Amino acid sequence: MARRETPEINAGSMADIAFLLLIFFLVTTTMNVDSGISKKLSEKPPADYVPPVIKEKNIFEVNINRNNELLVEGERMNVKELKDAAVKFIDNGGGEGKIEDGVSTGPCDYCKGERSINSSDHPNKAIISVQSDRGTDYGTYIIVQNELLKAYTDLRNRLSQERYRMSFTELEKAYSDDKNNEELKKKVEDIKLAYPQIISDAEPTSAN
């Protein structure tokens, strides 16, 4: 009786099928992407650096406790109210600006705040201090930071619209598309200098 031959498997075809399946899963699979915020870290100061004396009224304290509750200037606050509170603080314009390159920046003539003597003197002196707890949810921390960034965006957009008839968002986009345009560069720097983003992250408190 003749022996039946075992059919051979076409290895080339199997490899093609495996490759197609791999491509299929890569295209259809959804991967989780970590959320975060775009923020430039401050440079490490030199060893002989002496920090300036900062008036308490120029510091806007934002605290997030272990229960993810928000306390602003010692008072409980809903995160939805944080942006407007930050805008009010940054844009107060209650005094003189800081001295830069030996020249005083003077009072803020573009600020539209209350000019209270009990709040920030000038946007370039207004510091937002954020302190969280080691037990704070990262998601809550991100939401708080985003609300603070929105405050700066709103103020920059308003001033840019007044000076250059376009929002700061549009101005940045225009400069991003034309990096060699010195005029656009100066306009972007002008708005950033008027409302510098000064957010300080304090050391988290212990969750114990």
Q: List per-residue pLDDT tens for the chain, 208 residues long.
A: 555 555 555 555 666 666 666 676 666 655 554 444 555 545 555 665 556 678 999 999 999 999 999 999 999 999 999 999 999 999 999 999 988 777 778 999 999 999 999 999 999 999 999 999 999 999 999 999 999 999 999 999 999 999 999 999 999 999 999 999 999 999 999 999 999 999 999 888 875 5
Give the separation between CA 19 and CA 133, rounded to whole angstroms.
48
Residue 29 lies in a domain: no
Residue 19 lies in a domain: no
Into how many domains does the chain fold?
1
DSSP 121: S
Residue 32 lies in a domain: no
70 lies in which domain range?
Answer: 56-201
Where are the strands (E) in 39-102, listed by range? 59-64, 70-72, 75-76, 99-100
Residue 28 lies in a domain: no
- Nearest CA to 188 out of 150, 156, 165 is that of 156
For 110, counting Cβ atoms within 10 Å of its Cβ (0-12 exposed, 13-18 middle, 19+ buried), the class is: middle
- Nearest CA to 57 out of 115, 117, 122, 119 is that of 119
Residue 109 lies in a domain: yes
Provide the whole-model pTM: 0.76
Residue 33 lies in a domain: no
Residue 14 lies in a domain: no
